[in-house]
């Protein structure tokens, strides 16, 4: 580790399977020794459930999974990036969200990175989509990079952005997404100036006009005082950010309402109020009130629980035929997943079954998965983030956050 500045793998090491678990390397050695290294298999990625009793999840990381597996002689089918997925189908049967077919030793070492790419990103995208669903008309910014290893900052913000959040604070993330980064000002600026008004004015004076003037109003004095100071001293003030520490938070809603009142009675009705600091689902539910215009959310997003997807061999091609080989708790047979996109209902059948009718609207269901890789070649591209988030936004209207 001493030759590296950061404890991260290079793209090449990920692509070469170097980040795998050792038992896959050992398994390949054993299989090769016994002439079993060319066994053809059908495998599925699925999960027994989602964290925090989530009833649905947003699948993310598919684009990276495709880039991981490209060039290896396998076939990959998956729900598209940004799909709402469920652990089981309408009838309660465990449902694959990805399928892989190929020679096992050709892809076995990639199980570890493949799952890692979708487990973490899907957890973050789901957390972000849940906030989006709870506060559809508020601005929500991904603001949690400082809580996680910097190497994955683009993944964190990409996952939040495709889930429908309004902006990301990460400079590199925003560049890769092709959007301007979003942010306000750190407490450090005010501390260095030693004076809130001087810091706010400098922000307004120095930064390009297209950057919203949002004054951080909680450093040294009561939020109510500081928001009035900002409104009265910053010519182009767009809004204020209240990052009230927990030691002072008390009744945060009352503080926000007082600030709104004091701004309004002085004629500053256009000055918006943004809040940050420990914002999670509970706070979003409490603070989705007319006085709050938006949120900066950190740990709740970047530290979202991973979704425990697992990869299982289901069928093995042996003695010139496909053998049911699934372990206990997994369903045998090469499957097909069908979706009614109008009702957001899924059904699994065996691969050769005819399209079923939706149990709710009785319309013929369509294949839920897309074949992204055929014999190692990418045959279907992932749409750009803007398209993914637009598609997902329509599906989010069909689900709720309990």
Residues of the shown chain interacting with ligand PCP in the complex, contacts defined by CB under 6 A: 143-144, 147, 186-187, 243, 276-279, 296-300
Select 105 or 276, whichever has its Cβ closest to ligand PCP.
276
Give me the least distance between CB of 250 and ligand PCP, in Å please: 17
**Residue 139 Cβ vs ligand PCP, minimum distance, rounded to whole Å:** 15
Torsion angle of C-alpha atoms 59, 60, 66, 68, degrees rounded to 10:
-120
**Cβ atoms 365, 336 nearer than 8 A:** no
Structure tokens at 281: 């689902």
> Which residues face 167 on adjacent strands?
141
Q: Which is nearer to ligand PCP, 43 or 279 (CB)?
A: 279
Beta pairing partners, 142: 168, 297
Give the shortest CB-84-to-ligand PCP separation in angstroms: 25
In contact, 119 and 90? CB cutoff 8 Å: no
| CA distance to 8, 63, 309, 353, per residue, from 19 (Å) | 10, 18, 18, 38
Min. distance of Cβ 184 from ligand PCP in angstroms?
8
Residue 83 vs 244, nearer CB to ligand PCP? 244
Measured from the CB of residue 255, what is the shortest distance to ligand PCP in angstroms? 15
Distance from C-alpha of 142 to C-alpha of 276, rounded to nearest angstrom? 11
In the complex with ligand PCP, the residue whose CB is nearer, 71 or 186, is 186
d(CA 351, CA 333) in angstroms, rounded, equals 8
Nearer to ligand PCP among residue 114 and residue 275 (C-beta): 275
* CB-CB contact of 303 with 147 (8 Å): yes
Look-up of token digits 């004015």: 201
For residue 146, the minimal CB distance to ligand PCP (Å) is: 6
Q: Which residue is nearest to ligand PCP (CB)?
A: 298
- Tell me whether residue 38 or residue 146 sits nearer to ligand PCP (CB atom): 146
């Amino acid at each position: 580790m001493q030759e590296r500045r950061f404890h991260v793998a290079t793209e090449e090491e990920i692509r070469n399977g170097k980040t795998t678990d050792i038992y896959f390397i050992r398994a390949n050695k054993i299989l090769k020794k016994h002439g079993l290294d060319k066994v053809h298999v059908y495998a599925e990625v699925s999960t027994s459930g989602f964290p925090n009793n989530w009833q649905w999840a947003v699948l993310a990381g598919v684009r990276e999974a495709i880039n991981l597996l490209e060039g290896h002689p396998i076939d990959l089918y998956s729900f598209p990036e940004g799909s709402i997925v469920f652990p089981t189908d309408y009838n309660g049967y465990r449902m694959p969200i990805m399928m892989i077919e190929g020679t096992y030793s050709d892809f076995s070492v990639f199980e570890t990175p493949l799952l890692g790419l979708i487990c973490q990103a899907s957890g973050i995208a789901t957390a972000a989509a849940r906030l989006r669903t709870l506060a559809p008309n508020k601005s929500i910014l991904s603001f949690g990079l400082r809580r996680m290893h910097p190497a994955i900052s683009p993944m964190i913000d990409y996952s939040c952005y495709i889930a429908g959040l309004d902006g990301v604070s990460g400079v590199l993330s925003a560049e890769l997404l092709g959007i301007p980064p979003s942010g306000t000002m750190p407490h450090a600026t005010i501390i260095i100036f030693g004076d809130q008004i001087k810091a706010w004015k400098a922000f307004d004076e120095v930064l390009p006009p297209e950057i919203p003037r949002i004054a951080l109003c909680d450093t040294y004095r009561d939020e109510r005082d500081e928001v009035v100071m900002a409104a009265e001293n910053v010519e182009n003030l767009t809004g204020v950010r209240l990052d009230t520490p927990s030691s002072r938070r008390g009744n945060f809603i009352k503080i926000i309402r007082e600030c709104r009142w004091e701004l309004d009675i002085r004629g500053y009705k256009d000055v918006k109020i943004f809040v940050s600091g420990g914002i999670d689902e509970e706070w979003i539910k409490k603070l989705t009130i007319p006085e709050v215009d938006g949120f900066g959310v950190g740990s709740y997003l970047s530290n979202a629980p991973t979704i425990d997807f697992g990869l299982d061999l289901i069928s093995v091609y042996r003695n010139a035929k496909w053998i049911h080989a699934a372990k206990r708790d997994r369903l045998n047979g090469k499957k097909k997943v069908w979706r009614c996109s109008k009702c957001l209902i899924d059904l699994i059948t065996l691969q050769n079954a005819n399209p079923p009718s939706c149990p709710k609207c009785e319309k013929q269901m369509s294949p839920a998965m897309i074949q992204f890789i055929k014999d190692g070649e990418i045959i279907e591209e992932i749409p750009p983030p803007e398209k993914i988030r637009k598609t997902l936004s329509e599906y989010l209207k069909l689900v709720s956050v309990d």
